């Protein structure tokens, strides 16, 4: 007997249910097979495209379900012949491994620093060598230039000597026994054309001729210059004394009103230009003011004029009145009179 509460299922219904289940299984299995075959077909087409463009190694077997498998070693990738490749080959990268320790890092840094120092030293050595070569080239060029200049100077000196010898020989052939005879006759000639040429020579090159003579015989030329200059200075001193001599035809008050230091100095520089220039060069310094230079110069000129004539001049009269107005003692007047600044009382 069957336990109570159970119902009896008809056999026909079970058989029908089982048949329907088997049918559904078959349909599902067919759908799965169809989908797998479609995926496999798409993957194979993609693999063929990648092989044609050389993006993957053709020797590595393609396994869609085992993509993580390591490919077998094959030939290195070659760049594609396609002018516009999709990807470019890149060098292999190191992956994995343990991190470097501090000691290894320090060693690597030390090696890099040593390499940089070696490169710097190499560059410095190269630069020093280049500088040395450049200095040698410059020294060689300078030596060659000096040698060329010396050779040119020697050549010019030989040519100049040849011209002088030729000219001296021509003078001898012309009847001049000495060079001085030629110059004496040249400057003393009364011929208008020759005299004009001699005057033009002295006017245009007289200073150069005197400098050349002074270079050859300094003492002789200086002695000659003093011999020529002293009479000129003495004559200017006499002219200065005549200029500063008081005008007795005019009253003293009139002379005092019209007296001017600037006018006196201007007249003195006209009467004795060389003497004024000589005194300026001898006693004037750059730190003296312009007005002080005038006063010093006219004072010295008046003292020189007093040596020509002991009679008081206008400057001494004006200075005497000034010192008298300042209550100058008699002894100081005597000293100033002996110095030529004032007249004798």
Residues 183-223: tens digit of each pLDDT: 999 999 999 999 999 999 999 999 999 999 999 999 999 99
Task: Please check whether residue 256 lies inside any domain of the structure.
Answer: yes
Q: What pLDDT does 195 receive? A: 93
Looking at per-residue pLDDT, the higher value among 190 and 279 belongs to: 190
Quickly count: other Cβ atoms within 10 Å of residue 88's Cβ: 8
What would the mean pLDDT of 327-343 be, rounded to a whole number?
A: 73
Region 159-166: mean pLDDT is 93
Task: Point out the least confidently predicted range of 10-19, 67-76, 196-205.
Answer: 67-76
* Dihedral (CA of 18, 23, 29, 32) sign: negative
pLDDT at 62: 47
Cα 34 → chain centroid:
90
In a domain, 109, yes or no: no
Residues 194 and 237 in one domain: no
Tracing tokens 């993006």 back to the chain, one arrives at 55
- At residue 68, the pLDDT reads 45
Task: Kindly tell me if the per-residue pLDDT of 66 is higher than 50.
Answer: no
Total number of domains constituting the chain: 2
Average confidence score pLDDT of the chain: 75
Q: Which of 195, 216, 237 is the last residue of a domain?
A: 216
Structural domain contains residue 113:
no
pTM over 0.75: no
Q: How many CB atoms lie within 10 A of CB 263?
A: 10
Q: Are residues 190 and 288 in the same domain?
A: no
- Contacts (Cβ under 8 Å, ≥6 apart) of 265: 294, 297, 298
Q: Please tell me the distance from the alpha carbon of residue 76 to that of residue 87, in angstroms, as a whole number.
A: 15
The pLDDT > 90 percentage for the chain reads 24
C-alpha span between 84 and 92 (Å, rounded): 22
Cα maximum dimension of the chain? 194
Evaluate whether residue 11 is within a structural domain: no
Does a structural domain hold residue 121?
no
Give the whole-number percent of the chain exceeding pLDDT 70.
63
Any domain includes 249: yes
3-class DSSP state of 54? coil
Number of Cβ within a 10 Å radius of residue 342: 27
Q: How many Cβ atoms from other residues are within 10 Å of residue 11's Cβ?
A: 8
Whether residue 96 has pLDDT greater than 60 = no
Query: Does residue 199 share a domain with residue 292?
Result: no
Residue at which a domain ends, from 185, 216, 247: 216
Cα separations (Å) of 30 from 25, 77, 105, 303?
9, 42, 62, 149
User: For residue 48, what pLDDT is reported?
Assistant: 63
Domain ranges, residue 235: 219-339
In this structure, is residue 133 part of a structural domain?
Answer: no
- Alpha carbon 304 to chain centroid, angstroms: 55
Alpha carbon distance 258, 246 (integer Å): 12
pLDDT at 335: 76
Between CA 152 and CA 148 the distance in angstroms is 6
| Chosen domain end from 216, 245, 272 | 216
The predicted-structure confidence for 304-325, as pLDDT tens digits, reads as follows 766 655 555 666 767 777 777 7
pLDDT top residue among 223 and 38 = 223
């Amino acid at each position: 007997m069957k336990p109570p509460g159970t119902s009896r299922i008809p056999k026909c219904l079970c058989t029908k249910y089982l048949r329907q289940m088997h049918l559904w299984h078959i349909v599902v299995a067919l759908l799965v097979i169809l989908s797998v075959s479609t995926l496999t077909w798409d993957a194979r087409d993609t693999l063929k495209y990648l092989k044609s463009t050389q993006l993957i190694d053709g020797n590595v077997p393609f396994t869609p379900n085992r993509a993580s498998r390591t490919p077998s070693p094959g030939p290195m990738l070659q760049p594609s012949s396609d002018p516009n490749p999709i990807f470019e080959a890149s060098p292999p990268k190191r992956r994995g491994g343990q991190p470097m320790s501090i000691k290894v890092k320090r060693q690597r840094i030390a090696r890099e620093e040593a390499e940089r120092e070696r490169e710097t030293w190499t560059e410095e050595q190269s630069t020093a060598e280049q500088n040395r070569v450049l200095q040698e080239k410059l020294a060689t060029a300078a030596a060659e230039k000096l040698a060329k200049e010396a050779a040119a100077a020697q050549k010019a000196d030989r040519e100049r000597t040849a011209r002088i010898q030729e000219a001296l020989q021509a003078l001898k052939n012309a009847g001049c026994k000495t060079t001085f005879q030629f110059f004496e006759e040249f400057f003393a000639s009364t011929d208008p054309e020759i005299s004009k040429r001699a005057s033009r020579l002295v006017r245009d090159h007289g200073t150069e001729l005197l400098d050349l003579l002074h270079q050859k015989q300094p003492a002789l030329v200086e002695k000659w210059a003093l011999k020529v200059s002293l009479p000129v200075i003495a004559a200017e001193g006499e002219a200065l004394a005549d200029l500063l001599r008081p005008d007795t035809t005019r009253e003293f008050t009139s002379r005092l009103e019209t007296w001017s230091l600037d006018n006196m100095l201007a007249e003195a520089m006209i009467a004795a230009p060389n003497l004024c220039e000589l005194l300026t060069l001898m006693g004037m310094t750059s730190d003296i003011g312009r007005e002080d230079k005038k006063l010093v110069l006219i004072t010295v000129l008046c003292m020189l004029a007093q040596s020509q004539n002991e009679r008081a001049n206008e400057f001494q009269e004006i200075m005497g009145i000034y010192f008298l107005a300042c209550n100058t003692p008699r002894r100081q007047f005597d000293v100033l009179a002996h110095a030529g600044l004032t007249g004798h009382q």
